[in-house]
Copies of this chain bind each other. A is one copy, B any other.
């Protein structure tokens, strides 16, 4: 089934992966105080770098990944490195750091809590976007990087990029913030339903599930709910329409043994089920919940007296990119968000990417994104 969907173009063709110059761990020397009041003791940040830091140490770029991404930006965003694209392996020193709370090498719910000697699991604290930025700043310090020529990211990666420009204004020259605003009520709703899909799975066990018995159905359903918000209705119509599942199922056969099971699906259902089953092979439920919560709680104005106080700190030149068919972070919302930041005193322009791919377009149509950014 995988191949069938790939051939149809439901997944973008895999571009040639760009290999990192180095991939490794940075362990923070001491504890990281968190906005929630707790702290992480000596957390690990897993990161990858591409290219070489120049003698002037002024060619560093930070890429911030989206929800289920990893430090290996060369694997999930390879076209950004194409000749003449956004980043250059020859001229740039690109750093990408796995988010705290994730399951790709940085400290997260699957890590051992040094205070208890046990896996954090559901006790992993709320590590917000700002907490990530502060931790990442320590890593850059350790690499001797004082300034970033550019910080960029889409979705929760864009949240991090903007927070970098607010919290570390002297360090950032330029930021590209793609397909993101603080989550709308609809976005919060979608995350809430994903969370409940996981938490209602009988294997969830209040987050203390065994590694060999994770809440697979719940995490898969969460991913499928997310997928509908990452894509667009016109794209689904074009690719799947009302066709029966391409493996030869018959939706009209749902008769007398439950309804809508495998064997009776429409094509879109087969596609979503495949996305769900792929995802549970590569992601952890507690990590998923941890990052959803970071996304939910992101508010760049929180703790500031006014937008001017928050956004007026920014020294970087910001570009916001909205995606025409994105309904999770609608382009119009991104444009208004950029306007509000400009009104508060920062340099911020807005560009729009025309794509049927929805929120996912920054990953699914990288060549289009590159054209817009050039």
Contact = CB atoms under 8 A, between A and B. Distances in A.
Interface of A: 35-38, 122-126, 182-186, 188-193, 195-197, 199-202, 206-207, 217-218, 221, 224-225, 228, 233, 236-237, 239-242, 251-261, 265-269, 272, 289-290, 292-293, 296-297, 299, 327, 330
A259 B122 contact: yes
Given A228-B193, A258-B207, A200 B201 contact: yes
Contact of A297 (B233, B251, B257): B251
Contact of A200 (B37, B218, B267): B218
Contacts of A251: 296-297
Given A123-B256, A206-B258, A297-B251, A197 B197 contact: yes
Given A200-B201, A200-B218, A200-B221, A260 B189 contact: no
Contacts of A196: 217, 221, 224
A189 B245 CA distance: 12
A296 B260 contact: yes
8 contacts: A126-B252, A186-B236, A188-B242, A192-B266, A197-B197, A207-B258, A252-B297, A266-B296
A241 B36 contact: no
Nearest to A182: B242
A189 B272 contact: yes
B236 A269 contact: no
Given A186-B237, A200-B221, A260-B296, A255 B126 contact: yes
Contact of A192 (B197, B256, B272): B272
A185 B251 CA distance: 13
A260 B207 CA distance: 12
A67 B123 CA distance: 41
A197 B184 contact: no
A36 B268 contact: no
B292 A192 contact: no
Contacts of A221: 193, 196-197, 200
Q: Find the residue from A184, A191, A251, A258 having the highest chain B CB count within 10 A.
A: A258
Contacts of A186: 228, 233, 236-237, 268
B242 A299 contact: yes
A46 B183 CA distance: 44
Contacts of A36: 252-253, 255
Contacts of A327: 233, 327
A275 B217 CA distance: 23
Contacts of A218: 200
Given A192-B266, A236-B189, A125 B260 contact: no
Contact of A188 (B189, B252, B266): B266
Contacts of A269: 188-189, 192
Contact of A241 (B185, B224, B242, B261): B185
A192 B191 CA distance: 18
Nearest to A125: B255
A192 B237 CA distance: 15
A301 to B, nearest CB: 10
A99 to B, nearest CB: 15
Contacts of A225: 193, 225
Contacts of A272: 189, 192-193
B259 A290 contact: yes
Contacts of A37: 255
